[in-house]
Amino acid sequence: MPAILLSTLNARYFHASLGLRYLLANLGELQADAAIREFIITQRPLDIAEALLAEQPRLVGFGVYIWNAVETTQVVALLKQVRPDLIVVLGGPEVSHEWDRQPIIELADYLIAGPGDLAFAQLCRRIHAGNPPDEKIIAAELPPLDRLLPPYRFYTDEDVARRLIYVEASRGCPFKCEFCLSALDKTAWPFPLEPFLTELQTLHQRGVRHFKFVDRTFNLNVKTCTRILDFFLERLDERLFLHFELIPDHLPEPLKARIARFPPGSLQFEIGIQTFNPTVQALISRQQDNYRTVENLVWLRRNTHAYLHVDLIAGLPGEDLASFATGFNQLAAFDPHEIQIGVLKRLRGAPIHRHTASFDCRYNPHPPYNLLCSATLDFATMRRLERFARYWDLIGNSGRFPQTRPLLLGDDPFGRFMTLSDWLFATTGQTHQFALERLFDWLYQGLVKVLGATESAARAVLAADYQASGAKSYPAFLRPDRFSASDGSGKTSEIAALTRQMRHR
């Protein structure tokens, strides 16, 4: 049984912790006596504690993140209650800042604040030698990346077959956007390129076809970026899928030339816009050329097959509802595949905290530390925006409503969808657990009752989307008693034919 267990609680099973694999790869002579044990946050803390204790470890290290902090605290409390002698070491972004305010720190024996790749191994060696440090908090600096042993061989065959494989060509970020912990970085540091490409080749030979790059600024160094894209262009097949996070205003011609060569379904870009408001951008130290950003978004949508996942943040200091609505409408006009709306969070250690007093920002005291209200957005408005974001995920980002979306959004996407969002919540009282058939029915009613669409127009687009979804149930809006041959739509025979198809399926 391993003396050292490396553990974390992932949000979903298909996530595989890159951080734990770095720790294991760099444990040196202690590696043979260590193992990774991953769980998911939906598992009961008591069951997780039981599984860990069954292996009788001497030390357990936990990766703590915003999504698992509450559950990990419960697990650690259980472990220390049953085995007070068990050494618990914490690390990760959630506990690397403001640790004096966190109950989990009181429960643990040690905290590594900062990158633990080498610091964890050094701590384990001291404990193993009977010379544990007196200090509980161990401040770790970023080690030279060429000293780190790569973690990728510790992806198991099951990981390769069933889980998302994370890789990184660089760490850090040169930008200072205050909502992000990367604002604390001094710059971005690249891993040595040739050894990294060798690791990619090994993963590819093992059958990995889905690669998620966790680099904050993948396209910062164009030479490195193009080499990596060339690597994958030489190995294109129908299963290849690559995820990158791009700087929105930096898309030079050599990069464009390569992006344009990738076929449909192979590239996904996560592009952080966050806000188009120049005043807000300056306030939060965000450097973004809005003109080039717009130019690049238009080019990507028109000239490539890349799937565009674009981010906006609701609640940034100084941005009111009208400003956010303008930004959303501007993005919607470019028709990205997804507009991901995130509510501002006060991450521990992030510089955004300097605006708390001046903008009267009130944050949730519990994870995920989301903004509750501010001087520019009251509590009721923030709640409306949160529901807007949830319904937008269900409808606008789901990919299920391509025919319906133009009718839904019209010439004021934010205003119309906010109207629908308010009505949906007032009518259903829920934001989750919508059965697909019921979601279509609710959307039909919303289009007709609150957005002014004709019954025939709403039914036509929703019927086409419902048929394309492959669902086999029979929603109420398609039942024959809901429309007649005399509704004047000119689409009645087409809708009736779709209805018959649904019924026979």
DSSP state of 149: P
**Tens digits of residue pLDDT in 381-429:** 999 999 999 999 999 999 999 999 999 999 999 999 999 999 999 999 9
Domain span(s) for CATH 3.80.30.20 in the chain: 164-345
Task: Give mean pLDDT in consecutive 10-residue pieces for the chain, a chain of 505 residues.
Answer: 96 95 98 98 98 98 97 98 98 95 96 97 97 96 94 97 96 95 92 98 98 95 96 96 96 97 97 97 96 97 98 98 98 96 97 97 96 98 98 96 96 98 97 93 97 96 93 84 50 53 52
CATH 3.40.50.280 intervals, the chain = 4-143
Separation between Cα atoms, residue 96 and residue 311, nearest integer Å:
26
Pairing of strands 307-314, 267-274: parallel
Pinpoint the alpha helices (H) of 175-221: 193-205
Q: How far apart are CA 407 and CA 4, in angstroms?
A: 57
Q: What is this structure's pTM?
A: 0.92
Q: What is the pLDDT of residue 487?
A: 47
Instruction: Give the whole-angstrom CA distance, residue 256 versus residue 422.
Output: 41
Question: Exposure of 356 by Cβ count < 10 A (0-12 exposed, 13-18 middle, 19+ buried)?
Answer: middle
Q: Which CATH architecture has domain 4-143?
A: 3-Layer(aba) Sandwich (3.40)
**What angle separates helix 436-449 from helix 379-395, to the nearest 10 degrees?**
120
pLDDT tens digits, 264-300 = 999 999 999 999 999 999 999 999 999 999 999 999 9
CATH architecture label of 164-345: Alpha-Beta Horseshoe (3.80)
Tell me how crowded residue 236 is: count the other CB atoms within 10 A of its CB: 12
Look at residues 225, 320, 241 and name the one whose alpha carbon lies nearest to residue 275: 320
